[in-house]
Chains A and B, each alone.
Chain A
């Protein structure tokens, strides 16, 4: 599972997983691309229909699999294609941040931004800022931390990662 992670060759560059809603932020990222705006290649963009589709479990899973930051982009309040999906995102991410903070995951590693389809420049700016902020924090690299935590116990026999691995293979 950990090996499947896409990242830079030496593993020292942070990886940011970005969930962009198809109607606004993904289109804006497209625009940034066609307008040849530059942003660092650390971001892996996942297109979702709505920022409201981003189950907080996705965010936690991204961190668990080695993401150093997670960026969520959705339509501005009032502009959601599904009327109130982004309001749910606002509440969920605010609550998730409180949980993650207590778990030692810094606030800067999770960012929610409203970016409309025409704001290609904002995509580039937000990604630049976030990569900078996460670089300053250093890598989170949970898979490596987990190996460190496990070094204290007798050799593993249990299917520690089984539930998530099973989930990934059935595509749920």
Chain B
């Protein structure tokens, strides 16, 4: 079934919304070229191969494994280790895998509060017995198991070594196509690179010319609160556009559609903590010189962590909310 002359490629999803898989499908006609050039040997969302099929392959025999989604469960961890062993190149695909992504915001809570919320307190939940998923359940002499749900959401490279990163939520079809071509032709940058330009997004934004050197904003606005002028830099209109501190590569799709950049491509290589860098940038962009005036402006940013670490909380230097979870509790 598999053609030994074509490079073998695997796709896998961890804690993912499915958007990254959609991005592969969005290659449209391009996907045919990819399918023509490679042999997809594992893609749970689309093809009926099993984990045991991957396990049966010799180590290093898969040319490239693309893994999207953050790592939350023991199963995702095991699959990351398995694909790492079987693949020559392991690619973190998309913001979740790269930086923790939207699921990574769950690091503002611990395991217990997540479970309590999802199986108890959510308004749509009716669960008077307080039933929760069990890692092992015995009934009629049969044992059923589920993966363990970890306390902390992780990036792929916090679990296994990653060769390249395809940024974005999700990566654009063009970036994916470029990456596939680079891998197939062997024209790859140094290991560990993010496969997108290492400059800020403003560089690719058509509104860049209208961005003033010095911003003296007096409040920050959310997109639904203002009538946006489509011809002027969004940040200069008081919208928290994260373009100045986000990596280019998407060709400023969001700002072109009047939507401020929310930072899904992550930082350039000079930034070590996205949120702290944005705190720095935003702190320079507004005008207030007394503690009271500063507080007044900052009150227009209702969710600082969700704004500045929207895609990168697990990759931040703090990694998660500093709660008092004991290691033993966390290890359950």
A149 CB to nearest chain B CB (Å)? 5
**Complexed CA–CA distance, A160 and B152 (Å):** 14
* Cβ 8 A contact of B77, one of A87, A153, A172: A153
Chain B residues with CB under 8 Å of A164's CB are 272, 317
* Cβ 8 A contact of B160, one of A63, A104, A157: A157
A80 CB to nearest chain B CB (Å)? 11
Contact between A163 and B272, CB atoms less than 8 A apart? yes
Within 8 A of A (CB), among B305-332: 305, 308-309, 316-323, 325-327, 330-332
Chain A residues with CB under 8 Å of B331's CB are 151-152
A108 CB to nearest chain B CB (Å)? 14
Interface size class of A (residues with CB under 8 A): 35 or more
Task: Please tell me if A5 contacts chain B, counting CB pairs below 8 Å.
Answer: no
Task: Please tell me if A9 contacts chain B, counting CB pairs below 8 Å.
Answer: no
Task: Please tell me if A56 contacts chain B, counting CB pairs below 8 Å.
Answer: yes
Contact between B322 and A105, CB atoms less than 8 A apart? yes
Task: Please tell me if B161 contacts chain A, counting CB pairs below 8 Å.
Answer: yes
Contact between A158 and B327, CB atoms less than 8 A apart? no
Task: Please tell me if B222 contacts chain A, counting CB pairs below 8 Å.
Answer: no
B6 CB to nearest chain A CB (Å)? 28
Task: Determine which residue in B84, B280, B286, B291 has the highest number of CB atoms from chain A within 10 A of its CB, and name it.
Answer: B280
Contact between B304 and A157, CB atoms less than 8 A apart? no
* Cβ 8 A contact of A59, one of B84, B276, B332: B276
**With known contacts A95-B279, A95-B304, A147-B327, A153–B318 Cβ distance under 8 A:** no
Chain A residues with CB under 8 Å of B74's CB are 154
Residue of B nearest to A87 (CB): B289
**Complexed CA–CA distance, A33 and B316 (Å):** 37
Within 8 A of B (CB), among A156-171: 156-160, 162-164, 167
Contact between B272 and A104, CB atoms less than 8 A apart? no
Contact between A152 and B150, CB atoms less than 8 A apart? yes
* Cβ 8 A contact of B304, one of A59, A77, A99, A152: A99
Chain A residues with CB under 8 Å of B321's CB are 102-104
A159 CB to nearest chain B CB (Å)? 6
Chain B residues with CB under 8 Å of A153's CB are 77, 150, 154, 159
* Cβ 8 A contact of B279, one of A92, A105, A140: A92
Chain A residues with CB under 8 Å of B284's CB are 88, 91-92
- For A52-75 the 0/1 string (1 means CB < 8 A from B) is 000111011101100000000000
Instruction: Please give the residue numbers on chain B whose beta carbons come within 8 Å of chain A beta carbons, in ascending order.
Output: 74, 77-78, 81, 84, 108, 150-152, 154, 156-162, 192, 270-273, 275-277, 279-280, 282-284, 286, 288-289, 291, 294-295, 297-298, 301, 304-305, 308-309, 316-323, 325-327, 330-332
23 cross-chain CB contacts under 8 A: A56-B283, A59-B276, A64-B317, A64-B318, A90-B291, A91-B284, A94-B294, A95-B283, A95-B304, A98-B298, A98-B304, A99-B275, A99-B279, A99-B308, A103-B322, A142-B318, A147-B327, A154-B74, A154-B77, A154-B159, A158-B156, A162-B192, A164-B317
Instruction: Please give the residue numbers on chain A whose beta carbons come within 8 Å of chain B beta carbons, in ascending order.
Output: 55-57, 59-61, 63-64, 77, 87-88, 90-92, 94-96, 98-99, 102-105, 140, 142, 145-149, 151-154, 156-160, 162-164, 167, 172
